[in-house]
Structure 1
Amino acid sequence: MSNPLRSLLEEPRPPDPPVRVWRDWVLLAGVTVVGVLEGVLREDLPLRGLSVALALGLAPLLLWRRTHPLAVVATAFGVTAVVDIVLVASGAPALDMNTMVYLLVLPYSLFRWGSGREAVAGLAIILVPATLSLVVSWTGVADAIGGVAVLLSAFALGWAVRSEHGARERRLEQVKSEERALLARELHDTVAHHVSAIAVQAQAGQALAPTSPSSPLEALAVIEEEASRTLAEMRAMVRVLRNEAPVDYAPQPGVADLGRLAGASPAGPRVDVSVSGDLAALPAAIDAAVFRIAQEAVTNALRHARNATLIDVRVAGDQSTVSLVVRDDGDPGAADPGDEAGFGLTGMAERALLLGGACRAGPCPGRGWAVSATLPRQVSA
């Protein structure tokens, strides 16, 4: 067996899409209207009643083409093959209803949503009525080649869309994994800091015990607090760590470093940074996340906010949460980041979610684009 065929057969079926989507209902309504109009208005339509009944009777299969592509293909092309055989055997004219062209959506759906084995089985099923149709309705080599090309185009389009969708899903998962790994490295830095503090306090307590009886108790209180923080950070780190890459021990930027983002560039909008509220003693993971999300949002705005003059970064803290809003004043609809920056949005949302918060992005009322994030002051264990 050739490698391409083996790969196709072994390929698993992608996750099931929603049972029905509004586009399928619109497609069904359009096919129904066109079929009725052709049945009423077309004067040279052979076997008018049977043609209209077959076209409209098979049309509801479009609603299941995403979840049961092989069953839909087998039903539609099996019925048409049986009808063609009966008509040929009885000497009746072949069906020639233009509305039936919607059946080309089914081969597309087979290769778009079916598994590899379903695609091979469905291809074999489709070849029977397709070959029979060529024989019964032979109009020349050129028409035969054109018909085969159209059918193959439906297969190829379904396969291409499936491959593109799969590549994007894999890229999104890669971005999420990279964000988890980066967050885990930052959490590692925090744990190392806490463990160092515990060691220092323990040494200090031992050294001062002979001269100050209360020193060990004070040291134990600090050690208890540091140990509790360390335990929470370690649990979070274990939850998000996804690879075994070497840990980067470089200090991580935080809220205090947001001023790096401020300023005006020669060819871009000015970046203003405003920090308010209680932002003292933030956990390192939250502190770093605020900077990372703000940095990514500013980068996206600089790249995609058309005709923007200002990017406003506002960070505020209270007793329980830290909020971040990055807003630009670019042209309406012009700051949509598209696929490439969309991966950055995925990373920001993943980082916020892993820390127990949320991150959203979308157009502002009037003009511009905004990224808003809310993070808890404490890392959830």
Structure 2
Amino acid sequence: MPGPHTHADGPRRGGGPWALGESDGRRPGGSPALRLWIPVILSALVQLAGVAALLRFGHHPPGVAALTVALALAGPAALIGARRFPGPIVVITAVLAVATMAFGALGGPIPLAFAFALAGAVVRGARVWAWASLAGAWLVVLVLSLTLEQLAWPPPRVIGTALGLVIAIGFGEMLAARRQRMAAFRAAAARRRQTAAEEERMRIARELHDVLAHSLSQINVQAGVGLHLADTQPGKAVEALASIKQASKTALDDVRAVLGVLREDGEAPRAPQPDAARIADLVAATDVPGAEVVLDDGLEGELPSPVGAAAYRIVQEGLTNVARHGADVTRVEVRLSPEPGGIRVEVADDGRAASVVPGRGLTGMRERVEQLGGAFELVPGEGLTVRAHLPTTASTGEERP
């Protein structure tokens, strides 16, 4: 996984304390070109105006005047490369600022380009470059001030310039912290979107598995019955074909209902959504070869929709497992009963007990139950009992009457 200062295709220039380029390609707010040229133009105007004001006081040799103007323009010109190379540019502007102080007329104008470079370096991740350049520049100024008389600035100017440059770095730190917060917010939002998308894909996959596994198992059972009785009992074979037709129609309706959420126009045909009230129809339509399927429904009143849907899918998948994997089954019982704070759903058969290897169906049932804050268990006995405890209050925020 790329680190905080890398792209998927390699290192990102500008990341980290020794940055050579932008630390974040997605810069919040404003146009990148505007953010680049405003410091250049503003510092050029301010420094040239300062030079013009300084040259009006006293007589300065043409060479000194020309050098002061050139240094005043060189700093802003260097800022053009600050976006790509914030670290080296802050060093260059520091050298130009010190040179202006040492050799410019009356110590030169306010080093605004240096201030912009300091703030920009911090924002772009070159924090070490910024602080090292500021410390180095003032160390050189201190040494030169002891040897060159023209660097004997008045204390107010020394203090004011130092304070201004420190404020520039502080402003850069504030912008860098804001950028980090926005990057963290974008990353968190992206993770939430990805998580939501993954959860939706898993939900659709579980729904499709439950629908198709149950319907296809019933079609397979009825097709086997039809083939077995086609010659001896044509009437029973016709009934099997009718059951196949009904099972396939129900499966198609359920699949359209599940996949309807993927259609942008929202006009996909929808079957009634699964809930506890449809469990009786589900049990009546389920055929387990050689077995009687019965329902013991002790529930009263309405269930919260997530709980009702989970109960329906658990019963559906439980019956599918019995039909596909049950051995010597003669009776299947579906039991729905209330319990404190929720309901209990059980699908039990009396077949031959065997080792159970959880597949997608059992895993999907467990996930449904755990998402609602319930408990899921497999209880081996004479056969196998699938049991789920579904809360109706804590996880759903609703209470069954």
How does the TM-score come out when normalised to structure 1?
A: 0.48
**Which structure has the higher relative contact order (CA within 8 Å, separation 6+)?**
1
How does the TM-score come out when normalised to structure 2?
A: 0.46
Give the greater-gyration-radius structure (CA): 2
